[in-house]
Amino acid sequence: MLILENPKEFAAHLQKQIGVSEWFSVTQAQINDFARSTGDQQWIHVDEQRCKTDSPFGVPIAHGFLLLSMYPSLLNGLLEVKNVRLVLNYGLNKVRFMSPILVNSELRMSAKLIDYQEDKMGIKVSFSLTFEMKGNEKPVCVAEVLSLFQ
């Protein structure tokens, strides 16, 4: 885990890998909870029986935004920044869902610090995230996310 005493220490880590998370699985229960929360009940996510016959994957797939919504928690497992009043999700510059996320597959996330800017609102930091699925050659998702540290 990378531990910084304050957000200004990000400057020394520009263009460096922050870390790689432990492997984790996205379960059908998580997919169902996300579908209920967002109203996205598309059968390819929640209908296990129909997926067996009608889906090219044979099993449900996770919502891409479910995976993306997990990044703050995963990043917290890789990075601790002390002496911060608050941290805000500031936005996304780029997101690509490159491969389906099969239910119960093993996934992990790697993070790299790609930009650092100080301004009157605080320190804006951009991370490049890559989510990979065990046994899959290409990433399931790549994203550039922004955080604001105050």
Q: What is the pTM of this model?
A: 0.91
The rounded distance, in Å, linking the Cα atoms of 102 and 109 is: 16
What is the pLDDT, as a whole number, of residue 80? Answer: 93
- The DSSP bridge pattern shows strands 2-4 and 79-81 to be parallel
The rounded distance, in Å, linking the Cα atoms of 89 and 68 is: 12
What is the pLDDT, as a whole number, of residue 14? Answer: 94
The rounded distance, in Å, linking the Cα atoms of 28 and 11 is: 40
List the domain boundaries for the chain. Answer: 2-149
What is the pLDDT, as a whole number, of residue 26? Answer: 95
Residue spans of the chain under pLDDT 50? none
- Reduced to 3 states, what is the DSSP secondary structure of residue 66? helix
What is the pLDDT, as a whole number, of residue 47? Answer: 97
Q: Which CATH architecture has domain 2-149?
A: Roll (3.10)
- Please enumerate, as own/partner, the contacts of 32-39 that have beta carbons within 8 Å and a separation of 24 or more: 34/62, 34/63, 34/65, 34/66, 34/69, 35/63, 38/63, 38/65
What is the pLDDT, as a whole number, of residue 131? Answer: 97
Does residue 68 contact residue 95 with C-beta atoms inside 8 Å? yes
